[in-house]
Structures are given as C-alpha cells and as structure tokens.
Amino acid sequence: MIREINIQDLHELANPVLVDVRSEGEFAEATIPGAINLPLLDNAERAEVGTIYTQVSRARARELGLSLVSPKLPALVKAAQELGEHGPLVMFCWRGGMRSLVLTQVLDLMGIPVYRLLGGYKAYRKQVVNFFQGGFPFQVVVLRGNTGVGKTEMLGRLRQEGYPAIDLEGLANNRGSVFGDVGLGNPPSQKAFEGLLYEEFRHFNGWPYIIVECESKRIGRVTVPQNVFQAMQEGTQILMYDDITNRVRRLRDEYTALPQAFAEIRQALQRLVKTLGHDKVNQLNRLLDEDEDEFTRQLLVDYYDPLYAYPNEPHSGYAACLNYAYPESVARKLGEYLDKHFGSAER
C-alpha cells in the first residue's frame, strides 16, 4: 500500500531517504536538500515527452513516457531498494504527479515500503518561499571584522560547541569577495541556496537566536532573503580583529591549499584594475610568484581593509570586541557572552 504524506508530515519522519525522480537538470537546479536523484526521464526524454504533450496529445505523451521508462524499471527498483535500507523511502517529483506515482506503484507491487510526497518539490518550495516572506523568527548575532580575522573559523568553532552558527558563505559556495569563488566550483542556484538556508533555520528551531558572519545582500551569485538580511542589519554586532601577521597566514593557508588557486587568483586580480590600477595589479601578479605572504599583506592593506574599513582594535560601536589572536579562549569568551545575553534552545 502506498503511503502518501504532505510536507508537514515529511518533517516529522525520522531519517527519510528523499528520492527525486525528476530529470537531472531539474534536480541540479534545485531539490529538497539531501535528496538523491533517480530520474525516470533524462533531460532529453523529458523534453521529447513535453513536446508530444503540447503538440500532439496527453495520451500520446503518456504512451511515449511509458516506452521510455519501462526498460529502466528493473534498475530503478534495485537502486530504490538499496536506498531503502538506510531509512524510509520518500518519492517526489515536481508536484506529486505521474512520475512519482509510477515509481511508487512499481515499488509497492514489489513489496518495497515507500512514501509519496503530495505536492512534490513544488509544495516544499512553497514552504520555503512562505518562510522567507514572513517575519524572521530569530534574533541575529553578526560577526563583523576585516578580511582574514577568522570569522568563518569562529562560526565553525561555535557550531562544534553546539551553538546555532550558520555559515552563509559555505551555503552559497562563495566567500563574498572578488576572490570569493576561487577553488570552490559551481555555486548553487538561488532556489537551492534558499532551500539549504531554510533547512539550517529548521535545524535550529527552538533557539532564540542564530549567529552569522556579516555579508552583503549578494554573496557571489545568490542573494540573502530580505527578511534575513534585515534581521542581520538590526542584530547584535560583534567585532573581531587580529594582527596583520595572523591574517596573512590564515588567508595564505586557505587559498594556496586549493587546486588551481593561483590561476583563478590571477583571473580575479584583473577585476581589480579599475580599483587599484594596472601598475598595482601587475605588481601583485609578480608578488604572487615571488612572495605569497607579501602578496597577501598588500592585498589586505591596499584593497580589503579600505573596502570594509572595520577597526583593527577594540571599538565602542560594537556590543563586544574579540581579539582572535587567541582562538580557543576567544571562542569560549563569545560562548559565555551568548549564553548570558541570549540563553539557549528551548528544551
């Protein structure tokens, strides 16, 4: 018997194995975070069936779809059966239509327990959109500071300690600067980014606050939803700072460890010609070959620090100021501050 569940029921299901049966193109554009793709029709087949549907008839499109899917069913059933060993299977397509129905019916006939998500990805997407159009339910603590002071590292430390820290740059797969995409590969689509961000907020449901790093409205190719961005602007601002030597080391270690980093850094440098001029960019290119530390130092002093203009020392304009030269003690200090001023999750 096929068990149908709605999107609210899905969130109550323990360790579901989400299976997106849409084409690989649809899946790549956006899906429910964590889903696995088992496409009934690939991109070309889906386009062919769609053309028949609009230009000939619905019946003929179904016949074509059946002829394309039938040879794949044994492999799809085997793959689904293996996935079902890790948790309850939940099948979905775009809006809970024929594609998810076909595979769930076959799996049911084979005696494989399976759920079918009513409304499909469209229902999930509606829930995400509604969340970001409503009032933001968290207070926001924002870590601010110049490039290289360790804000992202601090978020990781806090998260390991159980605090509700969210790495927006990690979700966007971009560091939010002219060199933001170096070594990181393709960013998510806007829909995919919003889905990942929504799941982070769901994960921390019950906490009165969340912690993020200060970001512009746009991070690489994606945009922070307006209700989140506004809450960041109105939130508690924490300043982080560190000396130039530590900042240089931190950035050098991060970037030079990445494959193809130097080639991508050179490409990104060309985008600074309007800001720094040809002579300075040429100098930076030479330093990249000759002295990585000096290259990084000059980039910080001549470009990043004037751009962001945060203090490199304690300042009265912030709720708290942290010298990240001592990471472990500073993380502990910030944790104590958060516990005192915001409390913890509702238990």
Indicate the SS3 state at residue 317. Answer: coil
- What are the helix (H) ranges across 204-258? 226-234, 244-256
Indicate the SS3 state at residue 210. Answer: strand
Handedness of CA 310, 311, 316, 321 (dihedral sign): positive
Residue 93 a catalytic site member: yes
Q: Which candidate in 30, 64, 69, 93 is catalytic? A: 93
Residues 6+ apart with CB under 8 A from 216: 176
The CA distance from 25 to 63, in Å, is 23
Angle separating helix axes 58-69 and 43-55, nearest 10 degrees? 160
Q: In one letter, which amino acid is 276? A: L
Q: Which strands form 89-92's sheet, in the order they lie side by side?
A: 3-5, 115-117, 89-92, 17-20, 36-37
State the catalytic residues.
93
